[in-house]
A = this chain, B = another copy of it.
Amino acid sequence: MAGENGEAVRNKQVIFRDYVSGFPEDTDMEVRESTMKLRLLEGSNGLLVKNLYLSCDPYMRFRMTKPNVPVYVEPFRPGSLITGYGVARVLESGHPNFKKGDLLWGLTGWEECTLITAPETCFKIEHTDVPLSYYTGLLGMPGMTAYAGFFEVCSPKKGETVFISAASGAVGQLVGQLAKLFGCYVVGSAGSKEKVDLLKNKFGFDDAFNYKEEQDLDAALKRCFPEGIDIYFENVGGKMLDAVLLSMKLHGRIAVCGMISQYNLEQPEGIHNLTNFILKRIRMEGFVVSDYYHLYPKFLETVLPHIKEGKIVYVEDTAEGLENAPTALIGLFYGRNIGKQVVVVSHE
């Protein structure tokens, strides 16, 4: 990369073409050559960064939908850059929290270099003795989501039974390992034999099943939880949620992290078993990680030692290069990723 003195340099970008209804496709995005000046304007408190790793996250589907009023997630703008979480290195800083050479994670652009205009929303990376890409997953937004969702929303008690859907994904794999370390009985569902094997053999879940091979989700859950489910960490919605409601225990809790099975449907599936809320005094709560970022230091303190001792492991699925970013993102909605989906823009 040239441009050290502020001349315009090449900056490959992933552009959002237009609003999507139904399943998004690779062609809803395009990779374009662009240029940018690698210099901050005088008096700017922004950051010029070089993007290293980008995060593909299911919530990004919300941003592809033509906004209704009121809007709770800022939509992408047709013809404009895709933005999302990523790991980056600071090239030039106008903000007192960061200096040239620092590593950070936070909201950035799907491009080679980005001008970050809200550096206060970024987290400086202090621990570099783990893979940097972990800050798109295990140690970034999805990891923090798992931690806040499990400990703050689910109110777990030792010995309780925990069910996690999309359990081998970026969030699920950590929820399961945190729940095991906390002393819960943990079962996960996923969509392939390979993923189920990961859950049982790599992440140490007590049990797991492939939802695509179960004729009857209710029966599968009753088999795994003969006494019922105390906590459901919801990532998928739809038929799985409906079946889970039948197996919830008295005073069960459901943390709604995502409902990925529903995001691309013109009409979401109907959930029929909600009267169980009354009979079983169920609490269900949707949450968004940004409400919990004040817990990030505590989260790191909890998780980093476990990573270093090998008690928490993490599986990533890596796409190389911005050219492959659209396909990687779309793959989430077909369950093609095995573990956290990362896009490598540059290894250093």
Known: A259-B275, A262-B275, A275-B262. A281 touches B270 (CB 8 A): no
Known: A270-B270, A270-B272. A286 touches B281 (CB 8 A): yes
A277 beta carbon closer than 8 Å to chain B = yes
> Range of interface residues on chain A?
35 or more
The reply to whether A286 and B291 form a contact with Cβ atoms under 8 Å apart is: no
Known: A279-B62, A281-B288. A259 touches B274 (CB 8 A): yes
Known: A270-B270, A275-B262. A284 touches B284 (CB 8 A): yes
**When each residue 260-298 of chain A gets 1 if its CB lies under 8 Å from chain B and 0 otherwise, what string results?**
001100011111111111111111111110010000000
A287: B residues at CB distance < 8 A = 278, 281
Choose the segment among A100-108, A128-136, A250-258, A309-317 that binds chain B (4+ C-beta atoms closer than 8 Å): A250-258
A263: B residues at CB distance < 8 A = 275
A70 beta carbon closer than 8 Å to chain B = yes
Stoichiometry, as copies per complex, reads 2
A73 beta carbon closer than 8 Å to chain B = yes
A241 beta carbon closer than 8 Å to chain B = yes
Could you tell me the distance in whole angstroms from the C-beta of A274 to the nearest C-beta in chain B? 6
Sample of 11 further A-B pairs with CB below 8 A, known A62-B279, A281-B285: A72-B250, A72-B280, A73-B279, A269-B270, A269-B272, A271-B271, A277-B285, A277-B286, A283-B283, A283-B284, A284-B285
CA distance A241 to B273 in the complex (A): 13
The reply to whether B271 and A278 form a contact with Cβ atoms under 8 Å apart is: no
A275: B residues at CB distance < 8 A = 237, 259, 262-263, 268
Could you tell me the distance in whole angstroms from the C-beta of A16 to the nearest C-beta in chain B? 19
Chain B CB within 10 A, most for which of A270, A274, A275, A282: A274
Which residues of chain A have a CB within 8 Å of any CB of chain B?
62, 70, 72-73, 228, 237, 241, 250, 256-259, 262-263, 267-288, 291
Which one of B73, B257, B269, B279 lies within 8 Å of A286 (CB-CB)?
Answer: B279
A280: B residues at CB distance < 8 A = 72, 286
CA distance A270 to B269 in the complex (A): 7
Which one of B256, B257, B271, B284 lies within 8 Å of A270 (CB-CB)?
Answer: B271
Could you tell me the distance in whole angstroms from the C-beta of A165 to the nearest C-beta in chain B? 14
CA distance A256 to B285 in the complex (A): 13
Could you tell me the distance in whole angstroms from the C-beta of A135 to the nearest C-beta in chain B? 23
Could you tell me the distance in whole angstroms from the C-beta of A268 to the nearest C-beta in chain B? 5
A273: B residues at CB distance < 8 A = 268
Which one of B250, B283, B286 lies within 8 Å of A278 (CB-CB)?
Answer: B286
Chain B CB within 10 A, most for which of A237, A257, A285, A291: A285
| CB nearest neighbor in B for A282 | B286
The reply to whether B278 and A288 form a contact with Cβ atoms under 8 Å apart is: yes
